[in-house]
């Protein structure tokens, strides 16, 4: 029986390890390295159009953490109000982020640096908006949550406020608010008094006054590159089409014209902020009304065959009741503009993200596109 030569054994082991090390280094160098995101972080404020799970653990009807929501999303039903990716998921990919921006409800520590999604289904600019559906985080609460994040981030920067402010100034912020202030407030007179308290013009003005204050708070907390989204053409969503019996028009133009007052005021607010009111800030107005209108009018040229019905829902236009747990959805989601009574499909969200990221005209993004904003 041969004696075991320990010295020889270690020599062979070390040689093999060395070969493997060089092989791995060579392999790593020959493989394309993952691209760096164009901005260090991405912070998101909004409603169910961009919520990715913040409402999962609270008492509300505005939840989407059940099938068939997420039917085309790798992680399944996460709380996203669509079949796959949301607008901000697709935008995060275009900005070069390797992972989707996580929800505030479960993000702490160093992960905060890459960005956080504060969006909450049913929320609005006004605190009472969406109360008919239960609990949610209003815009005011979302800004307060971001203030809490900034405190946590300050600890990660060891109290160096200048370094933190410099970091935040390079990040992109997205805010999409206002839809529910119409859907789940102004046009719900059985639950809210706003439609008798204000004319559409006065209501738009009071919303913009409140919103301006909240966006200024974000600026004070460190936001410098900010995308603000207009309200989409909600007079044409399946929920409205199921309820509207108008003459000569398929959409509820009364709602669309009220929203247009808010949107034109928001664009003027962006001009004001960019004109020196918020020094060093760059705001981009995202014209979601125009992009949703274009898809609605020219759906077939973008590959959509069904533009007036939800892929999943109940009743007229699949819009009287939104998508129910375990309900059978349509087979080919790519042919549908709307996923349910309120929200676009993943395909539509990807189109909106691509068109706003690299838009060559000011019809979708003003005064510059999102790619240009990232490069500033």
Could you give the residue numbers annotated as active site?
48, 340, 343
Q: What angle do CA 280, 179, 209 make, to 5 degrees?
A: 45
Q: What angle do CA 289, 306, 130 make, to 5 degrees?
A: 50
User: What string of H, E and C letters represents the secondary structure of 237-295?
Assistant: CHHHHCCCCCCCCCCCHHHHHHHHHHHHHHHHHHHHHHHHHCCCCEEEEECHHHHHHHH
CA distance linking residue 270 with residue 261, whole number of Å: 15
CB atoms within 10 A of CB 28: 9
CA dihedral 230, 236, 240, 245 (to 10 degrees): 140
Query: Are the CB atoms for 111 and 149 separated by under 8 Å?
Result: no
Query: Are the CB atoms for 337 and 296 separated by under 8 Å?
Result: yes
Query: Are the CB atoms for 71 and 327 separated by under 8 Å?
Result: no
CA distance linking residue 309 with residue 339, whole number of Å: 8
Q: What angle do CA 70, 76, 80 make, to 5 degrees?
A: 45
- Cα-based distances in Å from 98 to 85, 90, 122: 14, 11, 29
Identify the CA nearest to 70 among candidates 352, 367, 333.
333
β-bridge mates for residue 175, sequence order: 45, 228
């Amino acid at each position: 029986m041969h004696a075991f030569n320990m010295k020889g054994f270690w020599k062979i082991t070390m040689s093999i390890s060395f070969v493997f090390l060089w092989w791995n280094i060579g392999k790593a160098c020959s493989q394309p390295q993952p691209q760096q995101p164009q901005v260090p972080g991405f912070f998101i404020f909004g409603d169910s159009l961009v919520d990715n799970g913040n409402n999962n653990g609270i008492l509300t009807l505005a939840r989407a953490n059940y099938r068939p929501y997420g039917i085309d999303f790798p992680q399944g039903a996460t709380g996203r109000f669509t079949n796959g990716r949301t607008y901000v998921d697709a935008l995060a990919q275009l900005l070069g982020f390797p992972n989707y921006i996580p929800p505030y409800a479960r993000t702490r520590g160093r992960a905060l640096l890459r960005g956080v999604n504060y969006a909450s289904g049913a929320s609005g600019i006004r605190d009472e908006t969406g109360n008919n559906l239960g609990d949610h985080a209003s815009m005011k609460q979302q800004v307060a949550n971001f203030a809490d994040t900034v405190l946590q981030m300050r600890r990660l920067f060891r109290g160096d406020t200048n370094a933190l402010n410099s970091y935040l100034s390079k990040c992109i912020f997205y805010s999409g608010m206002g839809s529910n202030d119409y859907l789940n407030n102004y046009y719900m007179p059985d639950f809210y008094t706003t439609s008798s308290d204000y004319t559409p013009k006065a209501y738009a003005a009071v919303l913009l006054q409140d919103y301006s204050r909240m966006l200024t708070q974000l600026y004070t907390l460190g936001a410098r590159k900010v995308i603000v989204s207009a309200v989409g053409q909600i007079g044409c969503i399946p929920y409205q089409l199921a309820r509207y019996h108008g003459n000569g028009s398929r959409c509820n133009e009364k709602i669309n014209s009220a929203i247009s007052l808010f949107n034109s005021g928001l664009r003027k607010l962006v001009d004001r902020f960019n004109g020196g009111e918020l020094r060093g800030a760059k705001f981009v107005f995202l014209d979601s009304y125009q992009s949703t209108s274009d898809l609605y009018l020219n759906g077939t040229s973008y590959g959509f065959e069904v533009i007036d019905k939800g892929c999943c829902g109940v009743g007229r236009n699949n819009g009287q009741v939104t998508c129910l747990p375990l309900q059978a959805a349509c087979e080919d989601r790519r042919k549908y503009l709307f996923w349910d009574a309120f929200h676009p499909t993943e395909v539509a969200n990807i189109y909106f993200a691509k068109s706003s990221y690299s838009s060559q005209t000011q019809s979708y993004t003003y005064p510059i596109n999102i790619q240009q904003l990232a490069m500033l």
